[in-house]
């Protein structure tokens, strides 16, 4: 059973809470990608816990994405670096 709608927010209040415009929130809801909401007669309401959960799910790690693996022939720079590494290994032995 869901908790009651104590302290439920309207579009404008929920949008302010999320840091976006009310129009953007309406667009997200109509596209089905916004936070959970409850429709009461003609009014849509947002519970603060649902807004918190929505924000928590959207947190992204700021670590850089790994470089894509290249396929095919190595670039000239890669060829030179590999050759230099092989030469260093030979000279060290």
Residue-range domain boundaries for the chain: 11-57
16-53 b/e with 16+ CB inside 10 Å = b? ebbeeeeeebeebbeeeebbebeeeeeebbbbeebbee
pLDDT surpassing 50 at residue 1: no
- For a pLDDT cut of 70, what percent of the chain falls above it? 92
Q: Average pLDDT, whole number, for the chain?
A: 88
Q: What is the pLDDT of residue 69?
A: 82
Q: What's this model's pTM, rounded to 2 decimal places?
A: 0.59
Is residue 26's pLDDT more than 80? yes
């Amino acid at each position: 059973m869901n908790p009651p709608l104590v302290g439920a927010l309207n579009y404008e209040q929920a949008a302010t809470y999320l840091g976006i415009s009310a129009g953007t929130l309406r667009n997200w809801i109509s596209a089905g990608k916004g936070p959970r909401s409850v429709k009461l007669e003609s009014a849509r309401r947002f519970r603060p816990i649902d807004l918190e959960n929505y924000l928590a799910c959207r947190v992204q790690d700021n670590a850089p994405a790994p470089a894509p693996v290249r396929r095919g022939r190595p670039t000239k720079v890669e060829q030179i670096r590999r050759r230099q590494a092989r030469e260093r290994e030979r000279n060290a032995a």
